[in-house]
Amino acid sequence: MGGLTADPAFRSMTFVVIDFEATTPTGYPSQPIEIAVLALRYEDEGWQETGRSTSLIRPPAFAPVTPAGTAQTGLTAAQLSVAPTPTEALGGVDRRFSGDTPYLLVAHHAATEANIIYNQREHCPTLARTNLLDTILLAKHCIPGLVNYRLDTLLTHFEISQPANRHRATADVDVTAQVFRRLITLANDRGRVANLAALVKVAGRTAKCNLAAQDGLFELTPVAGEVAAEPT
């Protein structure tokens, strides 16, 4: 057993893989239309799933789903018109976070998820204060030299099957969780990451709500220096 997965701080952490689908209206930030989360803990038996949740989210009138969005996700304006509001959907996820449990969010290109969460923070204040791990940053550390670090590239590298409904939140959370677990195995077995603190240094991103409220500090930045991320 390597140092990372033996670290008590790592074992006490709940890792919540998160993915949004969103619309991007001109002149406005991205608006979520679907969310999925998958909670994982590392125990003696290995990785254990401790919870999951998914919900559609009704977008505001200024951010309708576009034909291109429907082509990518399969979600239609009719479906979303009767979906839960952001208060209902994001509030429901937020209430799943216990105040006594340490959490880290896990996302591929975490800046995307973090920006959506920050802009919706009135509906999910606990989620908005939860720091993140970026699987792109972790992959660059563990697998240097790939042509790029898009999610599909990592799925091919790890021989993980493409889900039929790729670009839906639940499917993307499931494959991101698989990639995360493979990366942790590499980090652990090769001694690339010694403990949770080192993992955060390599791949951590600070939630915007946890940054000092000063000019210029509201851009999401990597914990350990500026590393360019790539979209999915």
The predicted-structure confidence for 188-228, as pLDDT tens digits, reads as follows: 987 889 999 999 999 999 999 999 764 443 444 555 444 44
E-only strand ranges, the chain: 14-23, 31-43, 46-56, 103-107, 132-134, 204-205
φ, ψ at 19 (rounded to 5°)? -145, 140
| Interatomic CA distance for residues 170 and 20, integer angstroms | 9
Q: What local confidence, expressed as pLDDT, does residue 127 receive? A: 96
CB atoms within 10 A of CB 82: 8
3-210: CATH superfamily:
Ribonuclease H-like superfamily/Ribonuclease H (3.30.420.10)
Full strand arrangement of the beta sheet holding 103-107? 46-56, 31-43, 14-23, 103-107, 132-134, 204-205
pLDDT digits (tens, 9 = 90+) for 102-148: 999 999 999 999 999 999 999 999 999 999 999 999 999 999 999 99
The pLDDT > 90 percentage for the chain reads: 85
One-letter amino acid identity for 37? Answer: V
Cβ atoms of 90 and 84 closer than 8 Å? no
- What mean pLDDT is predicted for residues 49-65? 96
pTM: 0.90
> How much is the pLDDT for 190?
78
| Secondary structure class of 19 (helix, strand, coil) | strand
pLDDT at residue 232 in the model:
52
